[in-house]
């Protein structure tokens, strides 16, 4: 082959490999692969994250690494990126099993977890499944229903005082059908809780399904796929079906979706604070900031995503020790914040978490392993 | 003593071990038209590319007006006044003629330009140099001859003092070729030096003052055209003596018709008006006419390209339904050799063997699987029949010279032992040696009994090869010459309504 | 020549990843790579056919999820594995037929035609699945993903068998020869009397059937049919095919190169996951490798004047 082409190829390959090396290093600082170091007492976890590309999920990784480093905990985490793709999630599951760690944590990207469950189950390695259920793994999750009910109570109390009722109010809820029924419990139970408070049509939670678009006379459900742009588009398209002059109560599965919807409403001139109230979900920077500063934003379902890693590790350790969780679902930290309570849990002037809510019966057992105490940011520990 | 416009001294270039040019030296005066002749592979295109600045020589000097110059890029060559017009024209098809003319020299004001300005500038340049062109039409709508004129105008408008033309008349008919040659002599009169690369000896002798012959990278002959003759030139080119450029014709006396067209009519342009002709076994019938007269239309229709032609067609005694599609044409036993081997005839990425067998795959396969040994045997037979020069049957056709590619094309059509061969421009862009061999092949085929219909824009070739030459004008056959000779050219041209 | 260069590159990558983490070079991991690459491998076998013929098939990004969903539904209805695969192939054939007609008869540019079919097939996949995942009610239905001979999974054997078959077709059959001719110079093939529309349609049908089959394999791995998987199939398969030496202009390409291309991409993805590189870097790396490959082959082609 011609020499110049050979040269170009070799040089480019070298550059490419060097680049990947640099990338690999920059990601993989405090934690190392199976082969490098670690004493035999170090607890080894293989953790596949939903995606590393979105800050919401990336922070699970970075916070956990930092906490382990700062507190000198004897834990080593090897990270994998599911990239939001079910096939990749399966591949990572195979790789994690090959690591032969002490425990596996997986944050599934969809409910297509049967194949993954088989791989993990066959390996007999204790595993934790975060936020979405995987057969053969123990479930660590938020309680979506409680979030919806709690938020509805906070908001319902306030707007009832204002005289909002069935003649002048529309409830706008945003689901994500692809995320599965359980994730959408929050919006479902939001409606069933707030409806009787305001005199709206009461329906059974089970009747609000993935296909539902109209609920009674006063509520509309859209599918915002948990993302900003699709939510914007969806709400834009349904604006004509919201009666002019009605008050709007907005609640969706996450703040991206809520913000997309909000933008569409503001664009259409329906963002006035006298006629719009919002319930947030996520406890992310946008939500905390809005809760503090936006008069329309009355409540925030804070799920402390940035510290989920801490609970995952504690649960992984407990499982490895042979402990059986008392409940089907071990609870992740969650609380409904309102404008008065937000500063108890978040540092002034920022969304950084300063305190996590106290443990409840389903996750009490996590205190036994000691990891939560080492990190030391939970109320009552 | 006035320095010559262009002086080349000891130019050399090699690729790997292959010496493409060696010790080439000649001069060009202002106003001189010099022909550069040589077989394919002799080094003509490399020399042209060196002058054009596209290739850097390994050795030697180029001097313009006595001052030594060197070009790192074609743009530099242009600024020094050398313009190169390649055989495959390079233009922007969807821009207008005016915009193509001012390409790279767009009239600008504060970084902005407009089509109207381009038009104005192009118009003034066309007027200044006496060119008549439809400036506001899209470039791709022009005929090839017009496109070449645009290229030449581009060159002169840049005040190029040396213009190198590579085979400009290869794809033109005689009318357009003459127009081009006139243009060339006009350029020469205005002081431009022209280097004319061509295979057409008749044009060289008609229109050039000097002739340079390249063989195997060396300049083997330079003289005034008036001091030499075509036979000598060919001898210099090939390095051996050839008595005739012409292949002798056997008198044919077949009586079976292999092809008969009756009352062919076509209303779309170019039209056909009640054309009837017959081709007998062992006969080569030539069709000649200016572009649009109908000759190429008839060939294309036989290839299945014009389903709208009405009339009766009989091949080897079988009456055909309409020739709607190339598939129908093939089934009827017609082997069609299209005019443009690169774009219409050959798949350049296939090997020689694969190309030879491509049209007869059904015969060389069982249940869809190719019979490799049979394919090889067929390819070998055809390769020797056409006297192919290639590194091997596995060589990619795109790597062959024009003449050899043409041989593969013709050979592939012979594979099916057709009833009748229909050829369009069989030696376009092919060097003298290969052209001779293809002519020999066709005459041999005739001798063996295959009938052929030949459509060519090369009147000399038409008279050399045909047993009968039919002249078309405006869609109808107006004249027939039996057993034409070289001297029949004038008669043919006259009947075609070309030159008078 | 090119195959040698590619294999060398593959070896380089393997060496690199092994030095970063010795667990990379193990039988288990090698199997992992094969297992994961086989889905894209099957799609790429179809893609190389369309690319050789001078077109390409973007609709595979929709046909793969459609295949996975159809397979899941049929299997959940109690169909046996073979009939279910047959159903999946039939669905693929229909999609391919539409593509073929659009490109061959209606003369739409393959880019636009297959882009259009992509939206339709992808949309159908999502609609049939109601936007949800369709889990297998019987885990034994995932037999395509089961391990069998020598501990190698069934679908890897399927990939191997298909590779051999398509290699033979391309090299030794009339259809294969016609593919190269049509791709190399469509007009010359047409003027020579080759039935170009039939060849083109056949190619798109084959590609869609293979993509659909790949979807069934993927569903067997995940034990779930899903309208959201396989959406990157088009770009990945085209990348693998081009990496393997095919030309987007048509007329050039083959099975060995394509397989190496698939292996290179699969090894890169696997290796990068093992050394914990986030997925978006993997996308960048894949893109870089593809650019490199295309650049090298373009340089070679320019020199030959093709």
- The H or E element containing residue A338 is strand A335-338
* B38 φ/ψ angles, rounded to the nearest 5 degrees: 175, 160
Q: Which of A233-237, A271-275, B176-180 has the least mean pLDDT?
A: B176-180
Residue C16: its chain A contacts at CB < 8 A? 17, 20-21
Q: Which of B292, B303, B287 lies closest to B266 in space, CA to CA?
A: B292
pLDDT at B169: 79
- Neighbouring subunits of B (3+ Cβ pairs under 8 A): C
Q: What does the DSSP assignment read for A181-227? A: TTTTHHHHHHHHHHHHHHTPPP--GGG--TT--EETTTEEEEE-TTS
How close, in Å, is residue C230 to chain B by CA atoms? Answer: 33
Tokens standing for residue A26: 């920059």
B336 touches chain C (CB under 8 A): yes
- B75-91 confidence digits (pLDDT tens): 888 889 899 888 777 78
How close, in Å, is residue A86 to chain C by CA atoms? Answer: 7
Where does the pLDDT of residue A27 fall: very low under 50, low under 70, confident under 90, or very high at 90 and above?
Answer: very low
pLDDT at B499: 42
Tokens standing for residue B486: 């070289």
User: Does this model's pTM top 0.90?
Assistant: no
Q: What mean pLDDT is predicted for residues A296-320? A: 94
Tokens standing for residue B153: 């105008």
Which of residues B202 and B370 earns the better pLDDT score?
B370
pLDDT at B428: 84
Residue C131: its chain A contacts at CB < 8 A? 177-178, 210, 223
* B447 φ/ψ angles, rounded to the nearest 5 degrees: -60, -35
How many Å apart are CA A246 and CA A267, to the nearest integer? 16
pLDDT at C48: 97
How many Å apart are CA B220 and CA B25, to the nearest integer? 10
Q: Which of B145-149, B199-203, B281-285, C48-52 has the least mean pLDDT?
A: B199-203
- B437-489 confidence digits (pLDDT tens): 899 999 888 888 888 999 988 888 888 899 999 999 888 999 999 888 877 87
pLDDT at B243: 52
- By CB neighbour count within 10 A (0-12 exposed, 13-18 middle, 19+ buried), where does A83 fall? buried
pLDDT of residue C302 exceeding 80, the answer is no
Strands A329-331 and A297-302: unpaired
Q: Which of C173, C177, C306 sits opposite B348 (nearest CB)?
A: C306
Q: Which of B173-182, C56-65, C116-125 has the least mean pLDDT?
A: B173-182
Q: Which of A206-220, A344-358, B135-149, C163-177 has the least mean pLDDT?
A: B135-149
A237 touches chain C (CB under 8 A): no
SS3 state at B474: coil
Q: Which residues of A165-200 are buried (b: 16+ CB within 10 A; e: fewer)?
A: eeeebbbbbbbbbbbbebbbbbbbbbbbbbbebbeb
> Are the Cβ atoms of B398 and C304 closer than 8 angstroms?
yes
Residue C274: its chain A contacts at CB < 8 A? 33, 95
How many Å apart are CA A306 and CA A284, to the nearest integer? 8
> Are the Cβ atoms of C304 and B399 closer than 8 angstroms?
yes
pLDDT at B487: 78
- C199-228 confidence digits (pLDDT tens): 999 999 999 999 999 999 999 998 989 888
Peptide bond into B270 cis (omega under 30): yes
Tokens standing for residue A258: 């809520």
pLDDT of residue A38 exceeding 50, the answer is no
Alpha-carbon torsion (C96, C97, C102, C104), positive or negative:
positive
- A107-119 confidence digits (pLDDT tens): 999 878 888 999 9
Average pLDDT, chain C: 89
Q: What mean pLDDT is predicted for residues B20-33? A: 90
pLDDT at A65: 95
pLDDT at C131: 67
- What separation in angstroms does the CA of B97 have from each of A79, B125, B154, C73? 62, 12, 10, 61
pLDDT of residue A1 exceeding 50, the answer is no
Which of residues A193 and C294 earns the better pLDDT score?
A193
pLDDT of residue A34 exceeding 50, the answer is no
Where does the pLDDT of residue B494 fall: very low under 50, low under 70, confident under 90, or very high at 90 and above?
Answer: confident
How many Å apart are CA A50 and CA A132, to the nearest integer? 10
pLDDT at B248: 67
Which of residues A6 and A102 earns the better pLDDT score?
A102
CB count within 10 Å of CB A287 equals: 28
Q: Which of A50, A235, A221 lies closest to A132 in space, CA to CA?
A: A50
User: Which residue out of C51, C170, C183, C184 would a mutagenesis test of the B interface target, given it has the greatest number of B Cβ atoms within 10 Å?
Assistant: C184
pLDDT at B277: 93
Task: Give the 3-state secondary structure percentages of chain A, helix then strand then coil, rounded to 5.
Answer: 45, 20, 35
- C231-259 confidence digits (pLDDT tens): 889 989 999 998 888 888 889 899 999 99
**Which residues pair with residue B224 across a beta bridge?**
B210
pLDDT of residue A285 exceeding 80, the answer is yes
- A119-156 confidence digits (pLDDT tens): 999 999 999 999 888 989 999 999 999 999 999 999 99
SS3 state at B13: strand
How many Å apart are CA B458 and CA B170, to the nearest integer? 9
Q: What does the DSSP assignment read for C150-194? A: GG-BHHHHHHHHHHHHHHHHHHHBHHHHHHHHHHH-HHHHHHTT-
CB count within 10 Å of CB B494 equals: 13
- C38-54 confidence digits (pLDDT tens): 999 999 999 999 999 99
Where does the pLDDT of residue A33 fall: very low under 50, low under 70, confident under 90, or very high at 90 and above?
Answer: very low
Where does the pLDDT of residue A3 fall: very low under 50, low under 70, confident under 90, or very high at 90 and above?
Answer: very low
pLDDT of residue B295 exceeding 70, the answer is yes
Residue B365: its chain C contacts at CB < 8 A? 173-174
How many Å apart are CA B154 and CA B118, to the nearest integer? 13
Q: What mean pLDDT is predicted for residues A44-61? A: 91
Q: What residues 284-303 of chain C have any CB closer than 8 A to a CB of chain A?
A: 285, 288-289, 292, 295-296, 299-300, 303
pLDDT at C23: 79
Q: What mean pLDDT is predicted for residues C131-147? A: 78
> Are the Cβ atoms of C190 and B331 closer than 8 angstroms?
no
Tokens standing for residue B333: 């036993």
Which of residues B432 and B314 earns the better pLDDT score?
B314
In the DSSP assignment, the letter for residue C105 is I
How many Å apart are CA B257 and CA B270, to the nearest integer? 27
Residue B338: its chain C contacts at CB < 8 A? 188, 191
Q: Which of A145, A153, A130 lies closest to A337 in space, CA to CA?
A: A153
Q: What mean pLDDT is predicted for residues B44-73? A: 88
Tokens standing for residue A42: 């170090």
Percent of chain C with pLDDT over 70: 97
Q: What does the DSSP assignment read for B376-423? A: HHHHHHHHHHTT---S-TTSBGGGS-HHHHHHHHHHHHHTT--SEEEE
Instruction: Please list, in sequence order, all residues whose beta carbon lies within 8 angstroms of the beta carbon of residue C133, skipping any fewer than 6 positions away.
Output: A86, A110, A111, A112, A180, C224, C225, C226, C228
Residue C302: its chain B contacts at CB < 8 A? none
Q: Which of A30-44, A352-366, B276-290 has the least mean pLDDT?
A: A30-44
**Angle between helical axes of B402-414 and B372-385 (0-180°, round to 10):** 120
How many Å apart are CA B170 and CA B430, to the nearest integer? 9
How many Å apart are CA C289 and CA A13, to the nearest integer? 8
pLDDT at A23: 45
Which residue has 């592979």 as its token pair?
B41
Q: What mean pLDDT is predicted for residues B1-22? A: 84
How close, in Å, is residue A298 to chain C by CA atoms? Answer: 32
Instruction: Please list, in sequence order, all residues whose beta carbon lies within 8 angstroms of the beta carbon of residue C263, skipping any fewer than 6 positions away.
Output: C10, C33, C37
User: Which residue out of C224, C227, C231, C237 would a mutagenesis test of the A interface target, given it has the greatest number of A Cβ atoms within 10 Å?
Assistant: C224
Q: What residues 162-221 of chain C have any CB closer than 8 A to a CB of chain A?
A: 218, 221
pLDDT of residue C3 exceeding 60, the answer is yes
CB count within 10 Å of CB A70 equals: 11
How many Å apart are CA A151 and CA A154, to the nearest integer? 5
User: Which residue out of A23, A64, A211 would a mutagenesis test of the C interface target, given it has the greatest number of C Cβ atoms within 10 Å?
Assistant: A23
pLDDT at B20: 83
pLDDT at A161: 94
pLDDT at A4: 44
pLDDT of residue C129 exceeding 50, the answer is yes
Average pLDDT, chain B: 86
8 A C-beta contact, residue C62 and residue C87: no
C15 touches chain A (CB under 8 A): no
- Neighbouring subunits of C (3+ Cβ pairs under 8 A): A, B
**Which residues pair with residue B197 across a beta bridge?**
B36, B166
Q: What mean pLDDT is predicted for residues A161-167? A: 93
> Are the Cβ atoms of C292 and A85 closer than 8 angstroms?
no
**Which residues pair with residue B64 across a beta bridge?**
B6, B67
In the DSSP assignment, the letter for residue B499 is -
Which of residues C3 and B32 earns the better pLDDT score?
B32
Query: With helix as H, strand as E and coil as C, how does C7-40 read?
Result: HHHHHHHHHHHHHHCHHHCCHHHHHHHHHHHHHH
- The H or E element containing residue A86 is helix A86-99
- A367-378 confidence digits (pLDDT tens): 888 899 888 889
Q: Which range, B5-14, B166-175, B490-499, C24-33, is most confident?
A: B5-14
pLDDT of residue A7 exceeding 60, the answer is no
Which of residues A32 and B305 earns the better pLDDT score?
B305
């Amino acid at each position: 082959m011609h020499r110049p082409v050979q040269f170009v190829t070799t040089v480019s390959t070298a550059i490419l490999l060097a680049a990947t090396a640099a990338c690999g290093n920059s990601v993989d600082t405090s934690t190392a692969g199976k082969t490098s170091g670690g004493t035999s007492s170090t607890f080894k976890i293989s953790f596949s994250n939903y995606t590393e590309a979105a800050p919401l999920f990336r922070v699970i990784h970075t916070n956990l690494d930092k906490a382990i480093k700062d507190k000198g905990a004897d834990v080593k985490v090897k990270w994998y990126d599911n990239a939001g793709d079910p096939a990749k999630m399966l591949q990572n599951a195979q790789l994690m099993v090959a690591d032969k760690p002490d425990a596996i944590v997986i944050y599934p990207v969809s409910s297509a977890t049967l194949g993954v469950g088989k791989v993990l189950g066959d390996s007999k390695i204790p595993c934790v499944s975060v936020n979405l259920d995987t057969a053969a793994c123990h479930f660590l999750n938020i309680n979506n229903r409680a979030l919806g009910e709690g938020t509805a109570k906070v908001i319902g109390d306030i707007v009832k005082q204002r005289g909002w009722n069935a003649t002048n109010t529309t409830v706008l809820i945003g689901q994500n059908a692809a995320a599965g029924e359980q994730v959408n419990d929050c919006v479902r139970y939001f409606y069933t809780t707030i409806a009787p408070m305001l005199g709206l049509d009461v329906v059974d939670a089970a009747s609000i399904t993935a296909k539902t678009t109209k609920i009674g006379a006063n509520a509309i459900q859209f599918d915002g796929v948990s993302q900003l742009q699709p939510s914007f588009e969806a709400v834009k398209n349904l604006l004509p079906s919201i009666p002019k002059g009605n008050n709007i109560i907005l609640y969706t599965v996450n703040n991206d979706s809520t913000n997309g919807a909000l933008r569409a409403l503001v664009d259409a001139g329906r963002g006035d604070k006298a006629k719009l109230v919002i319930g947030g979900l996520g406890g992310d920077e946008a939500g905390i900031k809005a809760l503090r500063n936006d008069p329309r934003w009355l409540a925030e379902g804070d799920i402390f995503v940035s510290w989920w890693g801490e609970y995952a590790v504690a649960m992984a350790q407990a499982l490895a020790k042979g402990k059986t969780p008392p409940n089907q679902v071990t609870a992740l930290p969650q609380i409904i914040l309102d404008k008065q309570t937000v500063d108890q849990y978040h540092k002034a002037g920022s969304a950084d978490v300063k305190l996590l809510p106290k443990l409840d019966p389903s996750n009490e057992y996590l205190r036994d392993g000691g990891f939560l105490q080492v990190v030391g940011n939970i109320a009552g520990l | 003593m006035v320095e010559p416009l262009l002086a080349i001294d000891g130019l050399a270039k090699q690729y790997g071990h292959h010496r493409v040019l060696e010790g080439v030296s000649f001069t060009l005066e202002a106003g001189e038209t010099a022909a550069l002749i040589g077989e394919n592979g002799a080094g003509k295109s490399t020399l042209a590319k060196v002058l054009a600045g596209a290739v850097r020589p390994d050795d030697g000097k180029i001097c313009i007006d006595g001052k030594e110059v060197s070009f790192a890029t074609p743009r530099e060559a242009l600024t020094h006044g050398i313009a190169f017009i390649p055989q495959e024209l390079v233009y922007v098809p969807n821009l207008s003629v005016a915009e193509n003319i001012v390409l790279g020299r767009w009239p600008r004001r504060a970084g902005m330009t407009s089509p109207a300005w381009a038009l104005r500038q192009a118009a003034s340049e066309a007027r200044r140099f006496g060119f008549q062109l439809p400036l506001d039409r899209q470039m791709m709508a022009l005929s090839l001859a017009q496109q070449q004129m645009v290229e030449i105008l581009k060159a002169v408008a840049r005040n190029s003092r040396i213009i190198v033309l590579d085979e400009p008349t290869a794809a033109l008919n005689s009318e357009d070729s003459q127009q081009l040659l006139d243009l060339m002599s006009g350029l020469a009169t205005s002081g431009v030096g022209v280097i004319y690369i061509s295979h057409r000896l008749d044009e060289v002798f008609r229109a050039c003052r000097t002739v340079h012959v390249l063989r195997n990278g060396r300049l083997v002959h330079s003289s005034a055209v008036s001091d030499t003759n075509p036979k000598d030139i060919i001898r210099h080119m090939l390095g051996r003596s050839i008595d005739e450029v012409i292949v002798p014709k056997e008198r044919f006396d077949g009586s079976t018709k292999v092809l008969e067209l009756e009352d062919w009519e076509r209303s779309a342009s170019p039209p056909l008006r009640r054309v009837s002709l017959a081709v007998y076994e062992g006969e080569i019938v030539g069709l000649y006419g200016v572009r649009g007269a109908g000759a190429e239309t008839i060939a294309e229709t036989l290839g299945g390209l014009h389903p709208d032609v009405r009339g009766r067609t009989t091949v080897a005694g079988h009456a055909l339904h309409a020739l709607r599609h190339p598939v129908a044409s093939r089934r009827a036993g017609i082997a069609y050799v299209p005019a443009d081997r690169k774009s219409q005839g050959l798949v350049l990425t296939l090997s020689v063997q694969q190309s030879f067998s491509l049209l007869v795959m059904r015969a060389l396969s069982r249940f869809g699987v190719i019979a490799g040994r049979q394919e090889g045997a067929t390819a070998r037979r055809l390769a020797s029949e056409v006297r192919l020069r290639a590194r091997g049957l596995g060589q990619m056709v795109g790597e062959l010279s024009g003449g050899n590619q043409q041989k593969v094309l013709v050979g592939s059509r012979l594979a099916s032992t057709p009833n009748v061969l229909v050829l369009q421009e069989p030696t376009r862009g092919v060097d003298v040696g290969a052209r001779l061999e293809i002519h020999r092949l066709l005459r041999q085929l005739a001798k063996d009994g295959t009938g052929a219909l030949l459509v060519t824009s090369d009147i000399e070739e038409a008279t050399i090869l045909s047993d009968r030459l039919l002249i078309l004008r405006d869609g109808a056959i107006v004249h027939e010459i039996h057993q034409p000779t070289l001297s029949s050219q004038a008669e043919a041209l006259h009947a075609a309504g070309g030159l008078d | 020549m090119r195959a040698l260069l590619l294999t060398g590159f593959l070896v380089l990558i393997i060496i690199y990843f092994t030095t970063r983490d010795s667990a990379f070079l193990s039988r288990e991991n090698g199997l992992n790579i094969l297992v994961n690459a086989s889905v894209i491998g099957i799609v790429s076998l179809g893609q190389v056919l369309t690319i050789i013929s001078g077109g390409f098939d973007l609709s595979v990004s929709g046909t793969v999820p459609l295949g996975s969903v159809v397979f899941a539904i049929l299997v959940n209805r109690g169909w046996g594995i073979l009939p279910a695969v047959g159903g999946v192939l039939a669905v693929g054939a229909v999609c391919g037929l539409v593509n073929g007609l659009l490109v061959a008869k209606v003369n739409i540019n393959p880019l636009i035609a297959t882009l259009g079919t992509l939206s339709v097939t992808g949309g159908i996949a999502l609609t049939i699945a109601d936007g949800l995942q369709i889990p297998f009610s019987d885990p034994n239905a995932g037999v395509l993903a089961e391990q069998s001979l020598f501990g190698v999974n069934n679908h890897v054997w399927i990939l191997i068998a298909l590779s051999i078959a398509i290699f033979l077709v391309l090299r030794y059959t009339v259809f294969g020869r016609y593919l190269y001719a049509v791709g190399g110079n469509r007009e010359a093939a047409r003027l020579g009397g080759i039935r170009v529309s039939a060849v083109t349609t056949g190619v798109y049908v084959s590609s869609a059937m293979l993509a659909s089959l790949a979807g069934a394999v993927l569903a067997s791995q995940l034990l779930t049919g899903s309208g959201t998987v396989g959406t990157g199939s088009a770009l990945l398969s085209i990348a693998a095919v081009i990496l393997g030496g095919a030309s987007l202009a048509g007329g050039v390409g083959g099975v060995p190169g394509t397989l190496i291309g698939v292996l290179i991409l699969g090894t890169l993805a696997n290796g990068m996951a093992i050394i914990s590189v986030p997925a978006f870097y993997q996308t960048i790396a894949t893109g870089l490798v593809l650019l490199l490959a295309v650049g090298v082959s373009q340089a070679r082609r320019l020199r030959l004047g093709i």
